[in-house]
Each structure stands twice: as C-alpha cells, then as structure tokens.
Amino acid sequence: ALWFAPLQVVAAIFLLWQEIGPSVFPGLAVIFAVLHINKRIAAATFRLQQKLLKLRDERAKLVRETLSGIKVIKLHAWELAFATRIQASRGAELAAMRTVTWLRAILSALFTCTPSIVAVAMLGAHALAGRDLTLKTAMTVLSAVSLLRSPLVFLPLVLQNVQEANLSLGRLSRFLNAEEYQPTSAGDLSGVGVAVDGGTFEWGGVDPQSDGGVVSNAAPASETPSQKHASHSQHSSTQGIGPAESS
C-alpha cells in the first residue's frame, strides 16, 4: 500500500545503519541521484502527455467531422484527402504515444535496478572503508535493501497515476470554469420574424408595351397624399358614370 511504503524505507535505512554505519550514505546518494533523474523524466512525460491529449482531441474532432459530412465527402470523391488527413493526425498521435512509452519504460527500469545499485554502493563503501565484509554483513545488507525494492518499484506507477489524475483534473477544471453560454435574446419581436429599422425598399418591372423601359410600381415622389386621394376619388367617380337610359 502507498501509506506503508515510507515505513518500509525508514525500517530499511535503520537496519542498514545498525549494520554498516556511515556506509549507508553512498547508497542514499545513489537513491537521491536516481530520484532526481526520474523527476526529469517524469516532467518530460507530463509534457508529452499534455501534447498527446491535444493530438487525441484533434484526431477525434477530425473523425467526427468526417463522419458527420460523409455524404458530401462521398459525392465529391474526397475520401482519399480526408483519409490522408486522418492518417497524418493518427501518425502524430502514435509518435507521441511511442515517446511516452519509451520514457515510462526507462523510468521503470531505473527504479527496478536501483536496489541492486544501492546494495553495490553500500557494500563497496563498506569494503573501501577498511571494514570486514563478512557473509553476515552482506546478507543483512541485501535483505535490508530488498525492503526498498517494493517502494522503488511502485513509485513509478504512483507517479504515472498522479500525472494522469492531474491532467484530468486540469481539463475538468478548465471546462467547469469556462464562461457560461449567453443565448441571443429575441429583442422586440413577439414571435418568429425579422425586424427592420430604417430600411428602404424598391421594386420594379419591365413594361411589355414599351421599348424595354423600366416601369416602377412605386408612387411618384412629387405626389402628396392628398393628391393621391383626389386621383383615387376621381377614378372611382369616373367608373360609376355610364350611358343614360332613355325613358
């Protein structure tokens, strides 16, 4: 378990100190050096994971748009063009995934080899210090270092899960904290329609009796409303006059 790993590390270091004394420090130096290297690798992996998520979003968007417009694509014979775009997007995604996989493999390999390197560093420092390297000391050191193997092996997995959780939380946070959608209001309209303010409209046609002249259906500009009313009344009274019948 994750909470039990620190206890294992503390117990292993205590047993090593009781057995070989200051020769523990070279092994601790190796552990800190490997942790520093793995920190750099984890940071590079985090950046590549961010890039990978963007590439996945672009590829999914392209596939979705292609499927939604498949009828138009088939009618215009654009299959090869869209297939090339999708393959290029997928190729970039696979390249990023390949790099992330290599970095994770290096990270796991370093943590797996760290206990053996730590044991060699501690036993070598113990021998170089002029102390007797007996079978009892060697087996005790190897047994204590084996307690470090489990925390160091599971640490890359924990780092990977933390990175993925951090990326997911960041994406959810940006989505939930985005600005709310503001729908467009209907304005002064009480129903479905179009409102026009200050518009000018004209219409006209061609008189078939003329020589291609354009006749406008609009009223003359110089005619006043009273003149229009008078002409309309005169036209109505003229229509009402007919030939008188003889008695």
Residue holding tokens 């709310």? 180
What does the longest C-alpha to C-alpha distance in the chain come to?
158
Q: Quick one: average pLDDT of 78-91? A: 91
Q: Is the dihedral of CA 22, 26, 27, 28 positive or negative?
A: positive
Mean of the per-residue pLDDT values of the chain = 76
pTM given for the model: 0.55
pLDDT above 50 for 247: no
Q: Quick one: average pLDDT of 79-103? A: 91
DSSP H helices in 69-78: 70-75
More confident residue, 220 or 157: 157
In this prediction, residue 64 carries a pLDDT of 92
In this prediction, residue 235 carries a pLDDT of 41
In angstroms, the CA 156 to CA 141 distance is: 24
In angstroms, the CA 232 to CA 185 distance is: 44
DSSP H helices in the chain: 5-20, 24-68, 70-75, 79-128, 135-176, 225-240
Contact in structure between 80 and 102 (CB atoms under 8 Å):
no
Q: Quick one: average pLDDT of 78-100? A: 91
In angstroms, the CA 230 to CA 34 distance is: 104
